[in-house]
Amino acid sequence: MTTDTATRTDEPTTVRRPRGWFWAALAGLISAAALLAVAELFAVLVARSASPVLAVGSVIVDIVPRPLKEFAITVFGESDKIALLAGVGLGAAVAAAVAGVLEYRFRPVGAILLGVGGVLATVAIVTRAGATGLAWLPPVLGTIAGVALLLILSRRLRRWSTAAAAGDAQAAGVSRRGFFLLSGFSAATAIVVGVGARVVNAATASVAAARDALRLPAVRSTVTVPEGASLDVPGLSPLITPNADFYRVDTALTVPNVDPSTWRLTIDGMVDTPVELSFDDLVNMGLDEYGVTLTCVSNEVGGGLVGNAIWQGVPIRDVLRLASPQGDADMVLSESVDGFTASTPLSSLTDDGLDAIFAVAMNGEPLPFEHGFPVRMVVPGLYGYVSATKWVTKLTVTRFDQMEAYWTPRGYSAEAPIKMSSRVDTPKIGSPVPAGKVPIAGMAWAQPIGVKTVEVSIDNGEWQQATLSTPINDQSWVQWMLEWDAQPGTHYISVRATDKQGNVQIQEPAAIAPNGSSGWQRTLVTVS
């Protein structure tokens, strides 16, 4: 005979407790993503510029100390804004994760922290130049949604943890599924809505079609590139820098989209007659071509933050003449649509011998968006931060002792004439060359006076005069070349320029702040 025996235990069921800190951090990240997604969605509807990430990033650009800005430009070059956005995103992600953990352990501290982040983003948005009356609405609604989601997710996580601690497998399973379902749905929705809204925002704000359809009036005069203006040397920079290769340094995290049909230029301040011009008003004043080299104050000796282009535009002096600046004014504060300002000496804009222009085209096509479409300033002989305002929309005629521009309180000079400079393009450091006849070549500029000579010294030997290309004008750079009988070994190449007034390029090294770098470039070359 057999007997069936049932085994029963009275011991409580063991239920694995969740890793609270991990899931809490995830809840914080998802809640922050929801905040951004809702803000981006409503930005599409009421205020396209009200993006929290971009607004906070722009504020960081404004408040970062000058040495860090210089470091970012040196290390990341034209990718500095991508690096900044990545840094802002990483910082936001860490803060969101911390908020999630704090809400789980010390409620409602995490919700308050997330709410403070939303408030700061709101302040950043509404204080930016060009903010609309409803710019506050997207970040506020996004903050409400993010905080609410964090509270709900944290509550479900605590229920799961409590049930698991009590050994209630059924309640723990229900709470766990509820937490995962809500987290997964919220994360997926935030990604789809946030990315979709940003794409729609960018697409609807684009003025690419308007730029493509733009037909500028024929120019009254053109730039003649003389014979011998370009030297045929491999590795030498082209005389005219292609638009795609032209350096870009500005404070805009995203490129402003300005429709030329709605663009306006206002001139006010110390003038007898305030002026407002439309894009058509400006170009109908008459366009001419100008060859002008632009240089960024962040350009190190031998650096690449310099380029030359053929611009089409209207002389700024003709536009200022409409407003009649008053006699005691000495500065013009130009303002970009994104709030950037530059302080330019009034004399540089009214000098009949200096081609300071409102440029509308670059190398035969309307300005690229990255270079100021539809209108930017181009002023020969001054570093860009005091003259080359992109997306320009306003001029205020004033005095240096009454107003200051964006970079002045950040440690840069209010006036910044470009320092004469020269550089070696080839041979390049780290690229050995074979023994024999080797061309040493590069670029030189001395705006607005013009380059007279360029000299090269090998291994601290006598200075040898290089061959210059035929200059377009005194406001553009020139190419230079010296044929060198290279001997095997390691050699130092030094270069210096002299302008048409007999001034020799400054030898003493200087940092880029407060008014541009100086010194003679000294290049190490290996000959095999």
pLDDT tens by residue, 264-278? 999 999 999 999 999
**Top-confidence residue, 3 or 39:** 39
Q: Looking at residues 179-206, what average pLDDT do you find?
A: 78
Q: What burial letters (b/e) apply to 226-236, b meaning 16+ CB within 10 Å?
A: eeebebebeeb
Q: Is the pLDDT of residue 302 over 70?
A: yes
Question: What is the structure's pLDDT at 43?
Answer: 79
**3-state DSSP assignment of residue 525:** strand
Q: How confident is the model at residue 9 (pLDDT cuts 50, 70, 90)?
A: very low
Q: What one-character DSSP code corresponds to residue 94?
A: H
Q: Is the pLDDT of residue 497 over 60?
A: yes
Q: Which of 35-44, 113-122, 416-425 has the lowest mean pLDDT?
A: 35-44
Q: How confident is the model at residue 381 (pLDDT cuts 50, 70, 90)?
A: very high
Q: Looking at residues 240-259, what average pLDDT do you find?
A: 88
Q: Is the pLDDT of residue 522 over 80?
A: yes
Q: How confident is the model at residue 443 (pLDDT cuts 50, 70, 90)?
A: very high
Q: Mean pLDDT across the chain, nearest whole number?
A: 89
Question: What is the structure's pLDDT at 5?
Answer: 42
Question: What is the structure's pLDDT at 11?
Answer: 47
Q: Is the pLDDT of residue 16 over 80?
A: no
Q: How confident is the model at residue 130 (pLDDT cuts 50, 70, 90)?
A: low
Q: How confident is the model at residue 296 (pLDDT cuts 50, 70, 90)?
A: very high
Q: Which of 79-88, 377-386, 461-470 has the lowest mean pLDDT?
A: 79-88
Q: Which of 1-5, 170-174, 292-296 has the lowest mean pLDDT?
A: 1-5
- H helices of 416-485, in order, are none
**Top-confidence residue, 51 or 174:** 174
Cα(293)–Cα(446) distance, integer angstroms: 10
Which of 480, 313, 507 has the alpha carbon at shortest distance from 392? 313
- Cα–Cα distances (Å) from 282 to 195, 320, 341, in that order, read 38, 12, 21
Cα(386)–Cα(333) distance, integer angstroms: 9
Q: Looking at residues 319-338, what average pLDDT do you find?
A: 96
Q: Looking at residues 372-396, what average pLDDT do you find?
A: 97
Q: Is the pLDDT of residue 206 over 80?
A: no
Q: Looking at residues 348-368, what average pLDDT do you find?
A: 96
Q: Looking at residues 471-500, what average pLDDT do you find?
A: 97
With beta carbons less than 8 A apart as the criterion, state whether 524 and 429 touch: yes
Q: Is the pLDDT of residue 94 over 60?
A: yes
Question: What is the structure's pLDDT at 49?
Answer: 65
Cα(420)–Cα(498) distance, integer angstroms: 8
Q: How confident is the model at residue 408 (pLDDT cuts 50, 70, 90)?
A: very high
Q: Is the pLDDT of residue 4 over 60?
A: no
Cα(414)–Cα(231) distance, integer angstroms: 37
Q: Looking at residues 2-11, what average pLDDT do you find?
A: 43
Q: How confident is the model at residue 3 (pLDDT cuts 50, 70, 90)?
A: very low
CA 387 to chain centre: 16
| % of the chain residues with pLDDT over 90 | 64
- Cα–Cα distances (Å) from 439 to 232, 422, 442, 491, in that order, read 10, 16, 10, 14
Cα(159)–Cα(174) distance, integer angstroms: 9
